[in-house]
Amino acid sequence: MIAIIGILVVIGAVVGGFTIAGGQVMALFHVSEIVVIVGIALGTVLISTPGPVLKGVGRQLGAVMKGNRFTSALYLDALKMLYELFQIARKDGLVAIESHIEDPDKSALFKKYPTVLHEHHAMEFLCDSLRLVLVGSVPPHDLDALMDSEMDVHHEQDNKPASALQKVGDALPGIGIVAAVLGIVVTMAAISGPVEVIGEKVGAALTGTFMGVLLAYGFLNPLSTAMEHNNSEEARFFAFFKASVVAFAKGFAPIVAVEFARRAIFSKARPTFQEMETACKQAAKAGK
């Protein structure tokens, strides 16, 4: 939501400032310049960006518009879920959690926490890691290294859409110049015409540069930065799961294992130990 507000502020500042200076808003919009700039930008994206990355751009832009989903409420739910899962393993043995991690979408435990279950990639990461704990042949330090490796792969993959969008943003001022030059060429062809016609054509050419710079620094580059921030938040959620799984694999008690996870949360979303302990105990009682 805050991204949408930011976009509206940018538009309002440009239109408002231009209008206050006596400009006519419609003078900023010329179909020919828009066709050139948007068309070239889309073409460069299609040339340089693989299909899966293009889909990632759309998905991540949608996530930016929705706002940050990695809130303290989500983390508290995740802590309770982990605590209940580890308690089951402690009381009934590791084999008791096998049904939960083999099919998370059908797990009665995981269904209690739909916001956590909705994080499909993170849940897959958690369940795959716990499968190795069940196997028992992977030492905790090797499990730690393996999870780090998978996190690096996921983070690299998730950063590609943001990088692709930023590169388009960096190219837009140059694309705007291309549109402006084409406009000047048209102007030169009409140089013998009335002054007002020449002035209109020069203004149209200049809007090409204006639009290229505005789209780059007012929209695309800020959006790519927001995508990077979202990816960082998701990477932290993976690290949160990793901390708990490694602690659990080392044989720590459930409450200690989830404390390892709590310490891996960014401070803005991290519940206190007392809040976590109270929530986990209440969840455990409700589950009996």
pLDDT digits (tens, 9 = 90+) for 150-205: 999 999 999 999 999 999 999 999 999 999 999 889 888 878 778 878 888 888 88
Tokens representing 105 are 């979408």
What three-state secondary structure class fits 7? helix
Q: Is 153 exposed, middle or buried (0-12, 13-18, 19+ CB in 10 A)?
A: exposed
Of 167, 162, 168, 184, nearest to 37 (Cα)?
Answer: 168
Of 135, 71, 58, nearest to 101 (Cα)?
Answer: 135
pLDDT value of position 287? 60
pLDDT value of position 165? 95
- Torsion over CA of 123, 128, 129 and 133, rounded to 10 degrees? 130
Whether residue 284 has pLDDT greater than 80: no
Tell if the pTM clears 0.85, that is, is over it: yes
- CA 230 from centre of chain: 3
Q: Distance between CA atoms of 282 and 285, rounded to whole angstroms?
A: 5
Q: Distance between CA atoms of 152 and 146, rounded to whole angstroms?
A: 10
pLDDT value of position 223? 96
**What residue type is 142 in one-letter code?**
D
User: 3-35: per-residue pLDDT in tens?
Assistant: 899 999 999 999 999 999 888 888 888 888 999
Alpha helix stretches (DSSP H) within the chain: 2-20, 31-48, 51-66, 72-92, 98-102, 108-111, 114-117, 120-135, 140-189, 195-214, 221-249, 254-262, 273-287
The arithmetic mean of pLDDT across residues 40-49, rounded, is: 94
pLDDT value of position 145? 95
Whose structure tokens read 């401070």?
A: 267
pLDDT value of position 84? 95
Whether residue 286 has pLDDT greater than 80: no
pLDDT value of position 195? 80
pLDDT value of position 27? 83
Q: Distance between CA atoms of 25 and 185, rounded to whole angstroms?
A: 24
Whose structure tokens read 């006519």?
A: 24
What three-state secondary structure class fits 251? coil
User: 79-133: per-residue pLDDT in tens?
Assistant: 999 999 999 999 999 999 999 999 999 999 999 999 999 999 999 999 999 999 9
pLDDT band (50, 70, 90) for residue 219: very high
Whether residue 288 has pLDDT greater than 60: no
Output the average pLDDT for the chain. 92
Ramachandran angles phi, psi of 284, nearest 5° = -65, -40
Whether residue 218 has pLDDT greater than 90: yes
